[in-house]
Structure 1
Amino acid sequence: MFCSYAQTKGEETPAQNRYVGSAACRECHPEEYENFMTYAKKSTSFQSVEKQMRHLTPEEIKQCYPCHTTGYGEPGGFVSLEETPHLKNAGCEVCHGPGAEHVRTGAPGAIIGNMSKKDCEVCHISERVKAFKYKPLIHGGAH
C-alpha cells in the first residue's frame, strides 16, 4: 500500500504544485543539495530497483516505486524512466513535498520544512526496518 506524505497529513496537492526533481533545489540550496546527493542513500535509491529488475515482473517493479521514486502515484510524480527520469530516486520532494510552487515563488510556506521520524515511516515501516536495517536518521545525514 502506498501513502504519500501529503496523503498521510490529509492534505491535497494543488494542481500547480507538481514535482520538479531534486536538481531544481540546487540553485537556492547548494549546500543542502550537495550533502543530500553525497550522503543520503535515498538520493540513489532507484539503483536497488535497477539491480533487481531482471528478477521481477513489471508489476513487482511498480511495487518498489512508492519508496524508491519521487511522487509516484501523485499528480506530476514519477511515471516511468522514459517519461520522468528526473524523479527516479527518492529525492528532496519525498520529504519536503512537491516543489514547483516553492521554486516559482521562493515562499517558505510552499514547501514542507520540518519533518519528524514519523514522516519517514511512510516508507520505513517496521517490516522494512528489519529487512533493510533502517536507522532513523532524519534526512539520512543530508542536512
Structure 2
Amino acid sequence: MRIRLVGALVALALVSAAPALAQDARYLGSAACAECHEKQYENFQKYAKKAKSSHSIQIMASDLTKDEVRECYGCHTTGYGQPGGFKSFDETPELGHAGCEVCHGPGSTHVEEGGDPSLIKGTLNIKDCEHCHNEERVGTFNFKPMLYGGAH
C-alpha cells in the first residue's frame, strides 16, 4: 500500500513540477539535445545513472505488480503520464530513461525555435530534483544530484 501511495504522490508531483513552458511542446528524448549540447549530453551519458534508469525498472519488473511498475515510470522514464511522454519501452524507447527533459521540460519547441532559451528550463536548483529525489530516497540510494556531479 505504501508503494502505491508514494507512487501516486510522485506522479502528482511530476505533473505539477514539470516546467510550464510551451504548452504544445513534445518530448523528444535526450539524443535530440546532443546536437547543440554535445558536452552536456556526453557527460550525462557517461556519469548520470539517470541515463540508464530504465535498467532498474526492467530488472525489478518481474518482482513487482503491473501497477507498481507503472509507479516506477514516474521517476525512471521521461514524461510518463504527461502528453507526449513515455508510454512503453516498445512505443517510446527514446523516453525509456530519466533524460534531459525530466528536468528541463519537453524540448520540441526549444529545438524548433533554434534553441530559444525561454522555451526550456535552463537554470535548475535542488528543488527541481526533489519531486523524485526526496529525503527518503536520498538516504536509500545515496543520491548525488547531477547539478553538482558534473553533468553540466
TM-score, normalised with respect to structure 1: 0.91
1:126 alignment partner in structure 2: 135
CA contact 1:66–1:72 (8 Å) conserved in 2: yes
Q: CA deviation at 1:11?
A: 3.1
2:147 is matched with: 138
Q: Which amino acid is 1:57 matched to?
A: T
In structure 1, the gaps of 5 or more residues are none
User: 1:108 maps to what in 2?
Assistant: 117
On the 8 A contact 2:22/2:109 being kept in 1, the answer is no
Q: SS where residue 38 of structure 1 aligns? A: helix
Deviation (angstroms), 1:10: 7.7
Does the 8 Å CA contact 2:54/2:76 hold for their aligned counterparts? Answer: yes
Question: Structure 2 CA distance, aligned partners of 1:21 and 1:139?
Answer: 22
Question: Quick one: distance in 2 between partners of 1:62 and 1:9?
Answer: 18
Bigger mean CA offset, 127-136 vs 106-115: 127-136
Query: Which protein is richer in helix relative to its size?
Result: 2
Alpha-carbon distance in structure 2 between the residues aligned to 1:73 and 1:97? 14
Offset at residue 139 of structure 1 (A): 6.2
Q: Aligned pairs, how many?
A: 141
Report the AA paired with residue 141 of structure 2.
F
Task: Specify every segment of 5 or more residues in structure 2 that has no aligned partner in the other structure, as ranges.
Answer: 1-8
Q: Deviations over 1:14-54 (max 9, x none)?
A: 1x201000000111111111111111111111111111111
- Please list the CA deviations of residues 46-91 of structure 1 after superposition, one character each: whole Å capped at 9, or x if unmatched: 1111111111111110010010000001010001111111000000
TM-score by length of 2: 0.86
